[in-house]
Structure 1
Amino acid sequence: MAWNFGFGRRNADIPAETRESIENPTVPVSAENFMAFFGINSVTLPSVTVDSAMTVPAVWAAVTFLSRTLAAIPRHAYRDSKDGAKRISGKLATVVNQAPNDTIGAFAFWQWFWGQVFTHGRGLAYIERTPQGVDSLWPMDPTKTTLKRIGLKVVYQYEGRDYDAADVIDVCFMRRSCGLKHYGPVAQASKAIQLAIAMNDYGSNFFAGGGVPPLALKGPLPANGEALKRAKEDIKRAVDAAKGAGESVFPIPPGYELTPVGLDPAKGQMIEARRFQVEEIARAYQLPPVFLQDLSRATFSNAEQQDLHLVKHLIGQWAKALEDEMNLKLFGRGGNRYIEHNLDGLLRGDFKTRMEGWGLAIQNGIRTPDEVREKENLPLKGGEADKLHIQGATVPLGQQQKPQPANDNQEDEAKAA
């Protein structure tokens, strides 16, 4: 039998130790609990709303860049025919690409629409119809819209009225498993945005204080509270007077010493941390960092590749999301009419590349000269300019010209020469 030799009692008589420790399985171990166990409470970061998130330059740049880029892309309505796709004119073309309603232009409307997608996570627009067809598109505030499912149908409740899903254009950043609710980029990236806001606040407070960190006063401090308060006020007045006069030296009583409390921004790697937050926010939007003005790792070659990445893996996908939604809600399932973005509009600012592309399209029989002139808003020429062209040196295999054998007269002339 085991005995406790130090106390003369058996181990069974000693009460079990209940001191909390990280070895105790009843104490949960996580980042927060581990720090709290040692008496370190987590700092409460500022709460994130869409308005507060937009005060972060990286978030502001991401939302404005994506919304403006997608709003600037031309979108047209087409009808399939036996001669190929024909662009639809009239009221539908006006609603889709010029003015969705009588109060707002297309660019402003679609910038607002995409701005809702990239902040709240959802863009909504109501389709107003008349017996003649689609008449207007009207914005619906996603923060004031409630979705509910009635049987197999989805209804949008907005400002006391129910709207059928067939009359609402709805583009989500990402849908939840229920199919009704959604994820928003600001909410999902709230931790990264919180950290960016906290660093902004710390930096502004630090430099607003003249770059002077919190100070600790060491020395023969007065014994009572009032004397201590006066000593602190004297030091504060000296620091404020030095900052106000633009002086870097200020006097303190002999025998005292001021030491900074905490880390200054340089030692805390604040610049590196803020740059990393730009990358984190770029990840939340799947956006190449160069488009958030982060050129720290940009070169001529990789910036060009990021430009291609932007069109193929981001802008093109969001354009497809809106096209599918508009095609379904405007024309129903099936049919021969459809909406399509013209991503060539992204090359409008690159004159050289645009002209080289048009030249190849004409030379290879892909576009007629008049089609190219129409894209460039130039008057049509008609006649030969309305026909497909191809270079004469390009012919089908088997139809190339064969060299003709020389006749006798040519041989005699050659010998005489």
Structure 2
Amino acid sequence: MAIKDWLSRRNEGKAPETRASIENPTVPVSAENFFAFFGVNSANLPAVNVDKALTVPAVWAAVAFLSRTLAAIPRHAYRDTKEGAKRVNGKLETVVNGAPNDIMGSFAFWQWFWGQVFTEGRGLAYIERTPQGVDSLWPMDPKKTTIKRNGVKIVYQYEGQEYDAADVIDVPFMRRSCGLRHYGPISQASKAIQLAIAMNDYGSNFFAGGGVPPLSLEGPLPANGDAMKRATSDVMRAVEGAKNANEPVFAIPTGYKLSPVGIDPAKGQMVEARRFQVEEIARAYQLPPVFLQDLTRATFSNAEQQDLHLVKHLIGQWAKALEDELNLKFFGRNNNGRYIEHNLDGLLRGDFKTRMEGYGISIQNGIRTPDEVRGLENLPAIGGEAEKLHIQGATVPLGSQPKPGATPPAANDNTDPEAKAA
């Protein structure tokens, strides 16, 4: 007898085992499989894509805040000289800080660019060059771009054309081990976002239904299915009528009782759970919760520290990532002393008091001249003494103090006794 015939006879009369059945010994009895057997699994959670994720206020706030903040920071081109770093003007300054192309301003372009990084997980831009140098930056939709290797080099395929890596600004959220693909924050935090969406949907459905939870009808069972449907319809009409009439009481048939099904949102700690999801999404972006308007544990001092944390450990790092790409792709490995750098002082633009105090310290300690500070505030230069560095003391120009051991100038007034005697 063939083995397959013996097995077929042995299994005659037995119900076939499904792959998902917990009675199948090949299926591990895990929490996921156990809940799946009863119809409760992760597939019941809403699918997450970028548009759906942005309906979660915490995700929307994180993406909007980070993209706008990084877009608002000034970035300038510099060249090293014997006298120190000098700002480079002309077309290069226009591209990096004015208008990257003919149809988009700097803020709009860079907000779009960083928005791609913090949603899809990658920002791409094509560099248009002329014989004179860099002329424009053009956006490339990451969803329509294919990245592949030709030998050891990387090329980008976009709308039927191939672009060399040297002509593409590429800032991924985090690269995969292959060096081509990337991880995106929304895809990696999809479970936390799914839970936030599910709680949003449950809350909206709960309150849209007048705050009435799912109910079970208990009592003598009707004779048949149609009778049960009629009884259920009667109760539903009674509940709906009481809700529309703003009446807290409604009647049900004698001998029947209504009981809520599921967990009371308050007992299920729904408010606490929704607040925790804000913290989870903040973790996905490494963003201090205070910038997602979560002030639950905020105090005056720790909110200020979170502000410092934002610049040092988040904004500064993303600024460095873009600077490296711009410097390498614009100027090459041998940049001849040219580079692009963000001016993180631009974050103080709305903090007048701190900005003025910083200017005062820089002038009094010989770091900046008064005219340099006036230039930062878009004020005209004064010239003369304002072009010189000053130092605290009498706050006088450097070099005007008497040298050690030098004879002080003679008194020339009539209050000197010896002068009067002469």
Q: Same fold (TM over 0.5)?
A: yes
Aligned to 2:237: 237
Amino acid at match of 2:41: S
Shift of 1:31: 2.8
Moved more, 257-266 or 315-324: 257-266
Q: What CA distance in whole angstroms lies between the structure 2 residues aligned with 1:327 and 1:29? A: 54
Q: Amino acid of the residue matched to residue 134 of structure 1?
A: V
Instruction: Provide the secondary structure at the position in 2 that maps to 1:221.
Output: coil
Q: Does 1:140 find its partner at 2:140?
A: yes
Specify every segment of 5 or more residues in structure 2 that has no aligned partner in the other structure, as ranges: 1-20, 409-416
Structure 2 match to 1:339: 340
Q: Take 2:201 and 2:242, find their aligned partners in 1: how far apart are those partners?
A: 24
Aligned counterpart, 2:378: 377
Q: CA deviation at 1:106?
A: 0.3
Partner Cα separation in structure 1 for residue 192 and residue 378 of structure 2: 45
Q: CA-to-partner distance for each residue in 1:5-49, whole Å, 9 max, x for gaps?
A: xxxxxxxxxxxxxxxx99x98552433135457x46425211110
Distance (whole Å) between structure 2 residues aligned to residue 330 and residue 366 of structure 1: 30
| Aligned CA-pair RMSD | 2.4
Name the count of aligned residue pairs.
383
Q: Which runs of 5+ in 1 are unaligned?
A: 1-20, 405-411
Counterpart position of 1:14: none
Measure, in 2, the Cα distance between the counterparts of 1:341 and 1:142. 24
Q: Which amino acid aligns with 1:185?
A: P
Which amino acid letter does the alignment assign opposite residue 369 of structure 1? P
Residue 9 of structure 2 corresponds to residue 42 of structure 1 = no
Q: How far apart in 1 are the matches of 2:241 and 2:28? A: 51
* Aligned residue in 1 for 2:131: 131
Deviations 1:112-137 (A, max 9, x none): 00000000100000000111111110
Equivalent in the alignment of 1:322: 322
User: How big is each residue's C-alpha offset from its partner over 1:247-283, in whole Å with a ceiling of 9 and x where there is no partner?
Assistant: 1111112211111001121111100000000000000
Give distance in 1, aligned partners of 2:35 and 2:350: 54
2:391 counterpart SS class = coil
Task: Give the structure 2 partner of residue 282 of structure 1.
Answer: 282
Return the TM-score normalized by structure 1: 0.88
User: Who is 1:12 aligned against?
Assistant: none
Q: How does 1:10-159 map to 2 (within 5 A)?
A: 27-35=27-35, 39=38, 41-43=40-42, 44-159=44-159
Is 1:311–2:293 an aligned residue pair?
A: no
Distance 1:249 1:400, change over 3 A: farther
Q: Which residue of 2 aligns with 1:209?
A: 209
Structure 2: distance between partners of 1:355 and 1:401: 37
Counterpart residue number, 2:302: 302
* Distance change in 2, residues 1:34/1:231 (3 Å): closer
Q: Give the deviation of 1:401 after TM superposition.
A: 8.1
Q: Secondary structure at the match of 1:330?
A: helix
Q: CA deviation at 1:177?
A: 0.5
Alignment of 1:399-414 (within 5 A): none
Give the whole-Å Cα distance in 2 for the aligned partners of 1:234 and 1:45: 32
Q: Percent identity?
A: 81
Any idea what SS the aligned residue of 1:76 has? Answer: strand
Normalised by the length of structure 2, the TM-score is 0.87
Matched residues in 1 for 2:269 and 2:60: separation?
23
Alpha-carbon distance in structure 2 between the residues aligned to 1:300 and 1:317 = 25
